[in-house]
Amino acid sequence: MHPLLESITDPAQLRQLDKKDLPQLAAELRDFLIRSVAQTGGHLASNLGVVELTIALHYVFNTPDDRLVWDVGHQTYPHKILTGRRDAMSKLRKAGGIAGFPRRAESAYDAFGTGHSSTSISAALGMAVAAQKTGSDRRAVAVIGDGAMTAGMAFEALNNAGAMDANLLVILNDNGMSISPNVGALDNYLARIFSGKLYNNMRRNTKKMLGVAPPILELAKRAEEHVKGMVTPGTLFEEFGFNYIGPIDGHDLDALIVTLSNIRQLQGPQFLHVITQKGRGFKPAEDNPGKYHGIGKFDPENGETPPGSERKTYTQIFGDWLVDMAEQDERLIGITPAMCDGSGLNRFQEKFPDRYFDVGIAEQHALTFAAGLACDGRKPVVAIYSTFLQRAYDQLIHDIALQNLPVLLAIDRAGLVGADGPTHAGSFDISYLRCIPNMVVMCPADENECRQMLTTGFMLDSPSAVRYPRGGGSGVAVTQALEPLPLGKGEIRRHGKKIAILAFGSMLQPALEAAEALDATVANMRFVKPLDTALIHQLASSHELLVTVEENALMGGAGAAVIEALQSTNVTTPTLSLGLPDAFIEHGAPEKLLAECGLDANGIRAAIEKKLTE
Determine the Cα–Cα distance for residues 221 and 69; give it in Å rounded to an integer: 31
The catalytic residues are 278, 363, 391
42: left (phi over 0), alpha (psi -120 to 50) or beta: left
**Gap between the Cα atoms of 378 and 334, Å rounded:** 10
Gap between the Cα atoms of 474 and 355, Å rounded: 32
Residues 6+ apart with CB under 8 A from 254: 19
d(CA 536, CA 550): 16
In order of 197, 252, 254, 276, 502, the CA distances from 185 in angstroms are 20, 10, 11, 15, 66
Taking the C-alpha atoms of residue 70 and residue 604, their distance in angstroms, rounded to an integer, is 40
CA distance 569 to 234: 64
For 208, 211, 455, 478, 551, the CA distances from 452, given in Å and listed in that order, are 68, 68, 5, 10, 20
Helix axes 185-195 and 253-264, enclosed angle (nearest 10): 10
How far apart (Å, rounded) are the C-alpha atoms in residues 337 and 353?
Answer: 16
CB 271 within 8 A of CB 243: yes
The amino acid present at 199, given as its one-letter code, is Y
Dihedral sign from CA coordinates of 169, 171, 172, 178: positive
CA–CA dist 458, 354 (Å, integer): 19
Q: How far is CA 500 from CA 102, 262, 512, 518, 534, in A?
A: 43, 69, 11, 10, 14
Helix (H, G, I), strand (E, B) or coil at 5: helix
Please provide the size of the chain in residues: 614
Biggest CA pair distance of the chain:
90
User: How many CB atoms are located within 10 Å of the residue 461 CB?
Assistant: 10
**Mapping DSSP to helix (H, G, I), strand (E, B) and coil, where does residue 43 land?**
strand
Cβ(308)–Cβ(48) under 8 Å? no
Cα 550 to the center of its chain, rounded Å: 23
SS3 175: coil
Name the nearest CA neighbour of 354 among 325, 371, 319, 330. Answer: 330
Find residue 415's DSSP bridge partners. 426
- Let me know the angle formed at the C-alpha of 313 by 311 and 314, rounded to the nearest 5 degrees: 140
DSSP structure class, residue 424: T
569: number of Cβ within 10 Å: 10
Task: Say if CB 220 and CB 211 are below 8 A apart.
Answer: no
